[in-house]
Structure 1
Amino acid sequence: MTAQPATTLADRLQQAAAGMDAPDVVFACSERGHRTVATSGTAPAHRPREHLHYEIGSASKTFLGLLLADLATSGVLDYDTPARDCLPITLRTHRVSAAITLRHLITHTSGLPSVPLQPAFYRHLLSRANPTNPYAAFTQERLLAAFHHHGARARPGIRWRYSNFAVAVLGHALAQVTGTAYDDLLAQRILAPMGLRRTRLAPGPPDTDAPGHRRNGTTPVPPVELGAVAPAGAVRATPGDLLTYLEAHLTPENSPLHDALHAVRTPHAVSRPRRAPARTLTWFLDETEHGPVYFHGGATFGQTAYLGYRPATHTALAAIATRRHNHRNVLVNTAHTLLTSTPA
């Protein structure tokens, strides 16, 4: 019997990309520094898909977490500083919220909900003329006032509860402590040292950003604008920059951010939902037969993304699709399966 040729990494990536029903799809992988990129999609490719900027949604939180780790390992601040001491608005804070630290905000253990549970916040969202960008006009003043008035439902540090609200507050706290606007701070301390010249927090010039689409995969949506919530999900980058970012996590010793990159791998023990993966300071953590896999998914109103890396095999994967995910989140599940099953 004739032996069948082994399926190559390029074949697996192309199969995964072709299996995504979206206008633009990119699966980009790095194995021991060798990069392989596969693209697909239903939209006409007027420009190579791998050269476009894609919105990565909540995977942006890994950039914020790395920024916090860099400031902490550099001695600029302490993980356990109370968040209220780092914010520009000083209102009377609920006694439970007063105990929330910077560490609690990034690890989703602050006790704060995903969004402020206040009528004024929802009136603001519902009043937006453009429902595809309801956060665009949400100001820092509103966000921080909501934090200072909000009583956490649980004592901070006890239980895990995913919170865009908390992470957004952290971004403003770091900006206040350093006296630098968040986008400038991220650029100076993370993007520039890592050589991420094609990563940004705002839409770029025409034809440089991949357009997102609704769940039906055909209705376009404008570029995401998050207002004061930007630290929780505004990063957009090319697949090449995302691989550069992940490769630095694979080999921290080669990066000027080596201390911070090691810090974000440290597991964070906390009570969490039964099927939820473990957590580090900023990544989800999955123990596999080939070693731990660090990963984070993300979505905006028109795009879905996955970032992950496995140090034991020097493998990293970035996957993006320009279609809002459905409840099954096919792209994230496919990408994670591909990364965790890739042979050593």
Structure 2
Amino acid sequence: MTGRLMPWPGTLVDDARASDGPATDAAPEDAALGPRLERAVDACDAPDVVFAVSRRGGRTIRSGGTAPPPPVPRPELRYELGSASKTFTGLLLTRLIQHGRLSGGEPAVACLAPGRAAGPAPVTLAHLVTHTAGLPSLPRDFFVRALPAWRTNPYARYPAPYVIDAFLRHRPRHRPGTRWHYSNFGVAVLGHAVAAVTATDWDELVAAQVLRPLALSETGPRPLGHGVDAVGHGKDGRTAVPAFDAGGFPAAGALRATPRDLLTFLEAHLDPPHGPLADALLSVRTPVLRRGLGHRHVHTVAWFRHPTGGGPMYFHGGATMGQQAFIGFRPDTGTALAALCTRRFRAGDPFVATAYSLLAEGLEE
């Protein structure tokens, strides 16, 4: 799929029920949204489901599921975000660029193997975050190494040294920056490259640069257990699966968060607070890539961007072996939505479509 890169500061030129009832939160609830979110919960056949919405300063959360309510209420559990973690990684990179610690144009090879020649058309950090590095979705040998744990934790069998080595050995089929191909591999490499050049582990880097400044105390890359983390289930909705281990792909999918923290994260994008992240939060809305027929598909450095009747909506989905997430926001309506569930859905199941439709429709009365 060909694409056209757009200017990005410093670099780019070219998815009988048990109900928990209403959740309480510090902000006032939007009573008109309750029935719509309850219907959304009911539409998703999963052990645990949460739909959380922030609109014009009010928060409304509804939850339920096919399983009995857990000891810890569903809205208070931490859920695996999978690829929705990439929105945090994109914000992290943008902040580091705006603070002058990176430009985005650094060749990833130079970050990971100092002294090694980058070549005439190197893969840069900007290419990695925008999925234009010419990398496949996963390293070529990933499936062979992951196969023994394919139904439990395949990523755990492919740790960071394997990711880095696979990148250093890879030869892109296309010149970086000319084609778009969604790549967990690429964003994983980005995380390792940024960690190397800043001499800071990715876990600490994202915590220091994104999580703590936004007061996201219920978000992190490691499972805490002890009833704090939601338990994922397979496609049958009954078989529990182990907590997700991202292995060497933390920047591409390791984060866990509560619905409350996700609304805080999304609200910051709607109305960036004064402080060190304000400019970065606005910058990640900016289109940096258009692709497809007539360049209809628009991407920012962290989000998929689709048009609506009133303005653009920004969103990202994610899935692990046993959970799914969908997060997004619409500046024109002041609306943010986080949808989470503990089942790995098949293609065509309603979770992502329900969440997307709620945000696209604007959730107006």
Partner of 2:257: 237
CA distance in 2, matches of 1:90, 1:17: 53
CA 1:218–1:79: 2 relative to 1, 3 Å: same
Residue from 62, 70, 74 that aligns with 1:49? 74
Contact 2:151 2:321 in 1 (8 A): no
1:85 aligns with 2:110: yes
Partner of 1:40: 64
Partner of 1:69: 94
Residue from 313, 317, 320 that aligns with 2:333? 313
TM-score (structure 2 length as normaliser): 0.87
1:8 to partner: Cα distance: 2.1
CA distance in 1, matches of 2:275, 2:269: 9
CA distance in 1, matches of 2:160, 2:275: 33
Partner of 1:59: 84
1:326 to partner: Cα distance: 0.9
Partner of 2:9: none
In structure 2, stretches of 5+ residues that fail to align are: 1-30
CA 1:233–1:313: 2 relative to 1, 3 Å: same
CA 1:136–1:18: 2 relative to 1, 3 Å: same
Structure 1: which amino acid aligns with 2:132? T
Task: Describe the SS at the equivalent of 2:269.
Answer: helix
In structure 1, stretches of 5+ residues that fail to align are: 1-6
1:285 aligns with 2:285: no
The alignment yields a C-alpha RMSD, in angstroms, of 1.9
1:340 aligns with 2:365: no
Residue from 216, 219, 224 that aligns with 1:204? 224
1:193 aligns with 2:213: yes
CA distance in 2, matches of 1:14, 1:277: 31
CA distance in 2, matches of 1:191, 1:117: 33
Identity %: 49
CA distance in 1, matches of 2:89, 2:347: 26
Contact 1:28 1:35 in 2 (8 A): yes
Partner of 1:3: none
Contact 1:248 1:254 in 2 (8 A): no
CA distance in 1, matches of 2:157, 2:53: 36
Partner of 1:4: none
Contact 1:308 1:317 in 2 (8 A): yes
The runs of at least 4 aligned residues of structure 1 exceeding 6 Å deviation read 273-276
Structure 1: which amino acid aligns with 2:310? H
Residue from 33, 47, 53 that aligns with 1:9? 33
1:340 to partner: Cα distance: 1.2
Partner of 2:11: none
Residues 252-311 of structure 1 show CA distances to partners (whole Å, capped at 9, x for unaligned) of 244530111111111023434789742111100011112110000100000011000001
Contact 1:89 1:144 in 2 (8 A): no
State how many pairs are aligned: 333
CA 1:170–1:222: 2 relative to 1, 3 Å: same
Residue from 43, 62, 85 that aligns with 1:19? 43
CA distance in 1, matches of 2:115, 2:140: 20
1:113 to partner: Cα distance: 0.4
